[in-house]
Structure formats: structure tokens, C-alpha cells
Amino acid sequence: MAPNNRKVEKTQAAIQAALIQIIDTQGLNKLTVAGITHLAHINRSTFYHHYIDKYDLVEKTEQGYLTLLNDSLDRYLTEPLNLLVLDSMNSDRLTHLILQMTTYIDQGQNFDLARVLTGPKGDPAFVVEIKTMIQRHLALPMETQTPEGVPASFIQDYILDGILSIVLTWLQSVPRLPVTTVTNMLLITRFQSTSSILARLQANQKPHKNQG
């Protein structure tokens, strides 16, 4: 790698680390260029060489993250996600796909970046963007409904919210859960209904001692 490229990568990594720290401690609404340059140990001209302003920094950071996730989905998906989920013969492919996604999120600064952006001090629009990205790959036929009359749009939101809730809970969990655990949780929710999962959870509970 050329020295200039290494310098650019080092600068951008420092800016991203500063962005994470500010969102984590103060919130996205408190983000300033002065705060970024101070924490990243760069001057303002260096910042403006890479970004127009703080809004450009956030937008490019979020879009870069989403692009890499989307590219990974495109690379491993040869059919709509809903067909892959339904086909039990493809369980190994689905496991591999989910493991690739969770591994990407878990790498380096990716985890902390996703954690702060989707957290209470982050950007709610980023969560919507993630949901929209998964929705495109889910590709449910929106004009259809179940025999009981449940529209596909309701089922889509049920599936997407279930996936996102697990991922978002993982991002905020302490201690941090390994990717294999999160992958297994996502796979379990694919194969089992809400009632069966709750039944398994209840069956695994330790009996409470009577308080005398």
C-alpha cells in the first residue's frame, strides 16, 4: 500500500473513532467539527479535505457501512431472502449468510459504530435504512396475503422487526455476545414460532422457591 493511502486510512480511522466517541458520550446532536478534529488530532483543513461538513461525515459513514452490508448480501444471495429462509435444504447457506453478516458487524470499529448509531444517542434514520435494505432482499410479494387474511406487509414488518430487534439488542448487550450465539438466535427464530420459543424458554426456567 502506498504511503499516501496509509495516511488517508489512518486519518479516516481517527475521524471515525472520534465520531464514535462523541456519539457515545454526548450524542449525535452534539457532534461538531471542532470536537472531531480535537479528538482525532487533526486540523480543520484535513477534515474538510475529506468531508464537506459534519452532516457529510455522518452520511458518508452510514452509507459506507450500508453499502458493505448490502454488497455482502448480494454476494451470498442468489435468490430472494424469503425463498432461502423457506427452503430447509438451504439451511447451511442461510447459516453461512447470517454468520458473514454478524462477523462483519463484529469486526474492528464496525461494532462500536453500529452500536452508537443505532443506540439512544444515535441516528434513528440509520435503523430505518437497515430495515429498508433487508426489506429489498426479503422481496415478499406485497400483493398477497395468508389464507387467514394477513397481508404480506404485516408479515414483512413482523419478520424485519424480529431480525432487527435481535441485532439491536446484541449491539447494546453487556458483555458482548459472540457472533456464533447471535447467529444461532437468528436461526432459531427462523424455524420456530413465537409461541414455541416462549414455551422452550419457560420449560428451561428454574423453578422459583416459595417465599414463606
Residue 212 is predicted with a pLDDT of 47
Neighbour-count burial of 23, counting CB atoms closer than 10 A to its CB (0-12 exposed, 13-18 middle, 19+ buried) = buried
What tens-digit pLDDT sequence spans the chain (212 residues)? 556 788 999 999 999 999 999 999 999 999 999 999 999 999 999 999 999 999 999 999 999 999 999 998 888 887 787 777 766 556 788 888 899 999 999 998 999 999 999 999 999 999 999 999 999 888 888 888 888 888 888 888 888 898 999 999 999 999 999 999 999 998 887 766 666 656 766 777 666 555 54
Written as nine digits, the cell of 91 is 439451511
pLDDT number for residue 81 = 79
Instruction: Return the closest-CA partner of residue 113 out of 100, 131, 126.
Output: 126
Instruction: Please spell the DSSP secondary structure of the chain, one letter per residue.
Output: --HHHHHHHHHHHHHHHHHHHHHHHT-GGG--HHHHHHHHT--HHHHHHH-SSHHHHHHHHHHHHHHHHHHHHHHH-SS-HHHHHH-GGGHHHHHHHHHHHHHHHHSTTHHHHHHHHHSTTS-HHHHHHHHHHHHHHH---TT-B-TT--BHHHHHHHHHHHHHHHHHHHHH-SSPPPHHHHHHHHHHHHHS-HHHHHHHHHHTSPPPPP--
| Cβ contact 76:103 at 8 Å | no
108/98 Cα distance (integer angstroms): 18
> Domain limits of the chain?
1-51, 63-203
Range 63-203 has CATH code 1.10.357: yes
CATH of 1-51, one of 3.20.20.30, 1.10.10.60, 3.40.50.720, 1.10.3720.10: 1.10.10.60
What is the predicted pLDDT for the residue at 82?
75
Rounded Cα distance between 102 and 184, Å, is: 11
